């Protein structure tokens, strides 16, 4: 097999003093942090779609990338060529996992039978690639948003035949994910929302979406898939409003349809900011609700109001995210998938390495700083002290239901309670945090 990245053998860890741009400065896969290796903590993955399916085209301009496997030719041969390049990249980068949509890896064909046959043949190819390389599947999913049939959504579409077509893709993508040993299966409702309320029945569409998710759960148990089902929240773009707006909205949806114990969330940093939240907020919220699952690691541009999918480089924010994850016990089946794409002007094939090396190093830096926060854990101490009253007799009595509104009012008057404000000491905590982050 001809090598596409012929100038690279394998990216190595050379330490912080290295000047080699094609080497890790902080990510040392075997280095132990808090009893686990960096690789075990981070569980990093590279995505198939942005790296190997995107040609650099945007709504204002033509393709800028010259990717031979995207040129005209026999669709299945080009898909196999793409797989060769993808696994060469995964191995040389030294990343342990990858993620894909069904139509990333196989041509969709001109009808459903061609889709099924093409995808089945490419799953054979991926299975062999994984066996040869040792690279594993973090998660699989189905693309229910690109084809024009999904312009009005898939599960929420007004046409039940479109619902059925989408269900068929998910059926095959879930089966493939199980066969390939995937740790998770993701559902991203890219067009499960509305453009205008003038032609939308909100109750009907939510009911359809709920039934679709119930069918996914039923199939998971039928085929014995042991991985985690993940829903990926996003507020808008491409639709005006999407039903999976953020982690809290997803939780409410899951509760409505009795699915809160069956799904977790796959949180994307750029989606969090589009929802008006911080990445940190979305992670903390999901953990507090018991639905945290996995992460699509990227960032947006503060001056752009859309999903730019840039490589993560905010070590401060990543450190706080990592701190929340470590406090909660770390990933189970999830990990950090780089849902990231090069800028259209990053034309060189080796730019793929520069972007991922930086992202992996930044996550490693964040892991080390989060571990330092855990070891000192002045943040947890400050929080525990702030809420200490809820561990005393009054707090326990309120929480346990011993008090009614009237009995609590009577107690407050009888004992002449006169609570005084207490400083939250935000500035002090920010100072202490920066002493760890920028030591």
Residue 402 annotated as binding?
no
Residue 296 annotated as binding?
yes
Q: What's the alpha-carbon Rg for the chain, to the nearest Å?
A: 24
Ramachandran category for residue 401: left, alpha or beta (phi over 0 → left; psi -120 to 50 → alpha): left
Quote the DSSP letter at residue 7.
Answer: T
Residue 159 annotated as binding?
no
Structure token digits, residue 392: 């005393």
112-129 core/surface letters (b: 16 or more CB in 10 A; e: else): eeebbebbeebbebbeeb
Residue 232 annotated as binding?
yes
Residue 244 annotated as binding?
no
Structure token digits, residue 427: 């500035």
Residues tagged active-site:
101, 104
- Rounded (5°) CA angle 361-21-7: 120
Q: Look at residue 425 and give its three-state secondary structure.
A: coil
Q: How far is CA 340 from CA 172, 305, 336, 414, in A?
A: 26, 17, 11, 61
Residue 114 annotated as binding?
no
Pairing between β-strand 193-194 and β-strand 241-242 as defined by DSSP bridges: antiparallel
Residue 9 annotated as binding?
no
Structure token digits, residue 329: 């016990």
Cis ω for the linkage preceding 230 (within 30 of 0) = no
Q: How far is CA 172 from CA 102, 113, 132, 323, 333, in A?
A: 8, 12, 24, 37, 21
Detail the residues annotated as belonging to a binding site for Mg(2+): 232, 268, 271, 296, 307, 309, 339
């Amino acid at each position: 097999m001809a090598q596409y990245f012929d100038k690279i053998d394998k990216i190595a860890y050379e330490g912080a003093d290295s000047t080699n741009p094609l080497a890790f400065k902080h990510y040392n896969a075997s280095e132990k942090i808090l009893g686990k290796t960096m690789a075990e903590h981070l569980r990093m993955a590279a995505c198939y779609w942005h790296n190997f399916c995107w040609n650099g085209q945007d709504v204002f301009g033509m393709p800028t990338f010259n990717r031979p496997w995207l040129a005209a030719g026999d669709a299945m041969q080009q898909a196999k060529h793409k797989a060769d390049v993808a696994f060469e990249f995964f191995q040389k980068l030294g990343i342990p996992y990858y993620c894909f949509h069904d139509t990333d890896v196989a041509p969709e064909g001109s009808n459903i039978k061609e889709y099924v046959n093409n995808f089945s043949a490419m799953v054979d190819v991926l299975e062999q690639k994984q066996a040869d390389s040792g690279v594993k599947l973090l998660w699989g999913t189905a693309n229910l948003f690109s084809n024009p049939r999904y312009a009005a959504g898939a599960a929420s579409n007004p046409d039940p035949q479109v619902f059925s077509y989408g269900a068929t893709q998910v059926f095959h993508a879930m089966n493939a994910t199980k066969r390939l040993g995937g740790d998770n299966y993701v559902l991203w409702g890219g067009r499960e929302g509305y453009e205008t309320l003038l032609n939308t029945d909100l109750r009907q569409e939510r009911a359809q979406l709920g039934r679709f998710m119930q069918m996914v759960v039923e199939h998971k148990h039928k085929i014995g898939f042991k991985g985690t089902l993940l829903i990926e929240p996003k507020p808008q773009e491409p639709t005006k409003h999407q039903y999976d707006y953020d982690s809290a909205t997803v939780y409410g949806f899951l509760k409505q349809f009795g699915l809160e114990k069956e799904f977790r969330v796959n949180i994307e940093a750029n989606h969090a900011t589009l929802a008006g939240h911080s990445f940190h907020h979305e992670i903390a919220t999901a953990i507090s609700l018991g639905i945290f699952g996995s992460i699509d690691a990227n960032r947006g541009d503060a001056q752009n109001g859309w999903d730019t999918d840039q490589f993560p480089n905010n070590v401060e924010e990543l450190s706080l995210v990592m701190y929340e994850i470590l406090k909660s016990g770390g990933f189970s089946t999830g990990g950090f998938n780089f849902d990231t794409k090069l800028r259209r002007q990053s034309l060189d094939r080796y730019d793929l390495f520069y972007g991922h090396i930086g992202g992996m190093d930044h996550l490693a830096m964040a892991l080390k700083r989060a571990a330092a926060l855990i070891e000192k854990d002045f943040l947890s101490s400050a929080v525990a002290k702030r809420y200490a009253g809820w561990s005393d007799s009054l707090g326990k009595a309120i929480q346990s239901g011993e008090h009614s509104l009237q009995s609590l009012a009577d107690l407050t008057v009888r004992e002449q309670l006169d609570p005084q404000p207490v400083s939250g000491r935000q500035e002090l905590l920010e100072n202490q945090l920066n002493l760890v982050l920028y030591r």
